Structure 1
Amino acid sequence: MSLSDSHRDTGGRTDADLGTGRGAGPIDVWILVERHTLLLDLAGAAEALRLANQALRRRGEPEAFRLRYCAASESASTSVGLTLAALEPLPELSPRDWLILSGRRHPHPDDPPTETVDREEELRIERWLHREGTALLAGGQGRLLSICAGALLAARAGLLDGRRCTTHHEALDALRDAAPRADVQANRVFVLDGPLASSAGITAGIDLVLALIAEHCGEAIAASVAQVMVVYLRRGAQDPELSPMLANRHHLHPALHRVQDAVCGDPRADWSLARMAEVAHVTPRHLTRLFTQHGGTTPLDYLRAIRLELARRELQRGVRPAQAALAAGFSSDQQLRRTRRRLSADA
């Protein structure tokens, strides 16, 4: 199976030539493929990024990510026996690149002994990762993502000292042994520590990538991806399992989705019932009926819930209440408090 055709042909143009409004062009997202890589770790993250590009194209915007797959050899067998081919050599990363490390299948008792060539390949990957990962983390623009037991590879490469991180619950002790100076956090869906991002097992990597898509492309794009993948949009163990960005969206009504996409895309705008109805191409009264019937809420309560979520995130970042309220679209922190009390009472 060849992966070389999954990233966009740029015709030799550089990122600077491909400007997107989010920087100097799409981000090169390098996915490292080791022998026995867990295919779901790799494919879940890659598919979320592909769907983000698709959602951006539908809005008439440029793609944000360019998927690339690298390895120590031209092909590698995955955890399910499928061999991935046409892999690119281990690259020299640019400061804005993202690098994704996924987990590997646990060795079976009846596996043959590791061959010398395999161990040499592992050491070459670790040396490359130490060099490129250290530069990537120091640069501040790029990101290093570990999914599941991919954190163990980052630990062996010496990249986790002094950093907060997590991994699959079965690998937590191994990670603590491999990175004794890291702050290994248990029972977390994922952990963000500056340019380092790490997730728990397998599908938690999708949650991690969704959060980064939201940060880079906006909440509406991330919500669209999550809907297509039929997953919950989670950001961490402290957050509710179902994000308010996806709540009230388990329906198939296109007019409501248009309104919800518009509100999530610009929640601070001056949204009135009449303006929402214009987006839906229905009357305000009919829009209220549609929201109640299909979304289980009212248009304005939906808007308030989205703004409350944004304010909650700002407060978690340490922003003062008045600033958090304005950033989320409230006129004041007093209005924020009133809205919180009202929605809590109605729940």
Structure 2
Amino acid sequence: MRVVFLLVPQVHLLDLAGPAQVFSTVRDLGLGYELHYVAEREDVPTAQGIPLRASANWPPLGVDDLVLVPGWRGHRFGTHGLLTGSTRARLAEHHRRGGTVASVCAGADALGQAGLLDGRRCTTHHDLQDHLAERYPAARVVRDVLYVVDDRVVTSAGIASGIDLALHLVATRHGPSVAAQVAREMVVYARRNGDAPQHSVMLRHRDHVSDVVHRVQDVIDGHFTERLPLRALAVAAGVSERTLTRAFGEATGLTPLRYQQLLRVERAEHLIGQGATVEAAAHAAGFEDARMLRRLRARLVGSPP
């Protein structure tokens, strides 16, 4: 998968570096990512004063590839970031052929110039939301959210929210476990949805800094369909069962067993949503029978931890 960053003069470093760090971490995990940096001119000044150098030549793009436009300095759209017709056409054509385009902060203006915001939900930094709505009246600007996804057009609020956007794209492509691993490597909270409660159990209960609990969650995440005695989890963490139970509860609000059950129920619900029978989904998720799944769904789904 290629991730192409389109750089505009006065680009904000964190708008670029946050998502770039996410995707480079995924690449380091061996998942076959290529990162490219392109611009209309090779020398790209940044808002923070560090000069960057990009390529004027775009790599070939396929439907699995992503083009991401980081934001740039400007109190209103139109002061910077005006793209040439050929660049706008590249963005529009990539999306038309089935590819994904994304933006951070003011980068939404680039997508607007390419006609990709018309009729779609989108967002940008809170200081620029009114300007985005004024400049692209056919767009449906969603205010005060981290990011918005609409038909392979992904826009984020800006600055650090670009990390959340990138983690969402990783979770969509590779699953929440990989996204959680990347978030842990980057020492950031893992968020999956920009405008709704987090739906992934793996991500929802990873917003802590307990290394002991993360190690146990790694074990449970990878083997939640199997029987996992508390003693074995404590050995994996290098602590006593009592210490593990206390630390796990403080970090997640759950017991290790409850966390495993939530993962099983979530997996079963996903399979049912894909057309599997309740019985087949129950067995695939690690339950002995469908009755146990039904009981846990009634007890756990929608209930407080």
TM-score by length of 2: 0.80
- Specify the SS of the correspondent of 1:303: helix
2:10/2:46 contact within 8 Å kept: yes
Work out which of the residue numbers 97, 112, 136 in structure 2 matches 1:179. 136
**Structure 1 residue 129 displacement after superposition:** 3.4
**Structure 1 residue 139 displacement after superposition:** 2.2
The separation in 1 between residues aligned to 2:117 and 2:280, in whole angstroms, is: 32
Q: Does 1:89 align with 2:49?
A: no
The separation in 2 between residues aligned to 1:323 and 1:148, in whole angstroms, is: 46
Match of 2:2, as an amino acid?
D
The unaligned stretches of length 5 or more in structure 1 are 1-26, 57-61, 109-113
Deviating above 4 A after TM superposition, structure 1's stretches of 4 or more consecutive aligned residues are: 240-244, 276-283, 307-315, 317-333
The separation in 1 between residues aligned to 2:257 and 2:58, in whole angstroms, is: 49
Instruction: Return closer, same or farther for 1:247/1:314 CA change in 2, 3 Å cut-off.
Output: same
Instruction: Return closer, same or farther for 1:104/1:202 CA change in 2, 3 Å cut-off.
Output: same
Work out which of the residue numbers 106, 112, 125 in structure 2 matches 1:168. 125
Match of 1:74, as an amino acid?
E
1:103/1:150 contact within 8 Å kept: yes
The separation in 2 between residues aligned to 1:319 and 1:185, in whole angstroms, is: 33
**Structure 1 residue 314 displacement after superposition:** 8.5
Partner of 1:52: 26
Partner of 2:298: 338
The separation in 2 between residues aligned to 1:250 and 1:132, in whole angstroms, is: 42
The separation in 2 between residues aligned to 1:39 and 1:222, in whole angstroms, is: 22
2:177/2:221 contact within 8 Å kept: yes
**Structure 1 residue 91 displacement after superposition:** 1.5
Partner of 2:195: 237
Q: Does 1:252 align with 2:211?
A: yes
Q: Deviations over 1:66-108 (max 9, x none)?
A: 11101111111111010012x1114164123210111111269
Structure 2 counterparts to residues 275-290 of structure 1, below 5 A:
288-290=241-243
The separation in 1 between residues aligned to 2:75 and 2:126, in whole angstroms, is: 17
Work out which of the residue numbers 40, 49, 57 in structure 2 matches 1:72. 40
**Structure 1 residue 288 displacement after superposition:** 4.0
**Structure 1 residue 287 displacement after superposition:** 6.8
1:250/1:295 contact within 8 Å kept: no
The unaligned stretches of length 5 or more in structure 2 are none
The separation in 2 between residues aligned to 1:303 and 1:144, in whole angstroms, is: 35
The separation in 1 between residues aligned to 2:271 and 2:123, in whole angstroms, is: 23
The separation in 2 between residues aligned to 1:287 and 1:273, in whole angstroms, is: 15
Partner of 1:272: 227
The separation in 2 between residues aligned to 1:215 and 1:265, in whole angstroms, is: 18
1:172/1:184 contact within 8 Å kept: yes
The separation in 2 between residues aligned to 1:159 and 1:260, in whole angstroms, is: 40
2:15/2:71 contact within 8 Å kept: yes
Partner of 1:100: 68
Q: Deviations over 1:183-212 (max 9, x none)?
A: 221122111112111111211111111011
The separation in 2 between residues aligned to 1:260 and 1:200, in whole angstroms, is: 30
Work out which of the residue numbers 162, 165, 168 in structure 2 matches 1:211. 168
Q: Does 1:37 align with 2:5?
A: no
TM-score by length of 1: 0.71
- Specify the SS of the correspondent of 2:49: coil
1:76/1:83 contact within 8 Å kept: yes
The separation in 1 between residues aligned to 2:86 and 2:175, in whole angstroms, is: 33
Match of 1:294, as an amino acid?
A
The separation in 2 between residues aligned to 1:29 and 1:202, in whole angstroms, is: 18
Instruction: Return closer, same or farther for 1:252/1:177 CA change in 2, 3 Å cut-off.
Output: same
Instruction: Return closer, same or farther for 1:300/1:343 CA change in 2, 3 Å cut-off.
Output: farther
1:28/1:67 contact within 8 Å kept: yes
**Structure 1 residue 328 displacement after superposition:** 6.4
2:177/2:202 contact within 8 Å kept: no
Partner of 1:139: 97
Partner of 1:4: none
Instruction: Return closer, same or farther for 1:250/1:31 CA change in 2, 3 Å cut-off.
Output: same
Q: Does 1:63 align with 2:31?
A: yes
Partner of 1:24: none
